[in-house]
A = this chain, B = another copy of it.
């Protein structure tokens, strides 16, 4: 069944008013009619099974039939902070990380980021990023849409990480070193409900300066398997592994 994430203001007394892009999607793309059924996600994460009662020129009104007991979101809260990568990789990472259960996405300006994005450029892109995570949330049947932040400076990123229980950064040297601790040695200590912050470098990796600052800010260096992953593959490995361990194993 088609799923829509609807802003809080549009919910009232067992009814939901759907407008804008979602109105267009329901009427023009899906060509639904009175009595068609959809799922509506409230920003609090709850999901309602709904039936269309009325369609006019700007609004679809649906009635809530029942609240569903369904939670597909991760039992831990995972933030991926990604050094700004080249081209459209950030958009790819946003989409895939949403499917894989991320809670929050942050892009930051790393020393070795080839692209430099000023506020004007970021502001222009932001609506598109939010659309990508919303659509990926609908498609993958998430309960909540992940939040998106960026593009932060490295010092703002470190400040942002202070409220997290677990802080890691993916470090190539750990993959190369056969004496390094395994990833599970770190993940096994995380408890359900904990917040996890994982920082990933851009194409060229972290600078020495950044590595020193991360370590000083109590980040732990982790490996992501024995191979060297591209910057856009690293967050997918992190999220899949955490899903396997917390959702498919414990």
Q: A142-B227, A225-B243 are in contact. Are A248 and B184 (CB under 8 A)?
A: yes
A139 at the interface (CB under 8 A from B): yes
**Distance in angstroms between the alpha carbons of A226 and B75 in the assembled complex:** 11
What chain B residues lie within 8 Å of A184 (beta carbons)? Answer: 244, 248-249
Tell me whether A195 is interfacial, beta carbon within 8 Å: no
Chain A interface residue count, Cβ-Cβ cutoff 8 angstroms: 31
Copies of this protein in the assembly total 2
Q: Is A236 an interface residue (CB 8 A)?
A: yes
Residue A183 lies at the interface, judged by CB distance under 8 Å to chain B: yes
Binding site of A, secondary structure by majority: helix, strand, loop or mixed? loop
Q: Give the residues in chain B near A241, CB-CB below 8 Å.
A: 240-241, 243-244, 248
Given A240-B244, A244-B241, decide whether A230 and B99 contact each other with a Cβ distance below 8 A.
Answer: yes
- Provide a sorted-by-A list of 7 A–B residue pairs whose CB atoms are within 8 angstroms: A72-B226, A101-B225, A141-B227, A225-B247, A236-B240, A240-B241, A241-B243
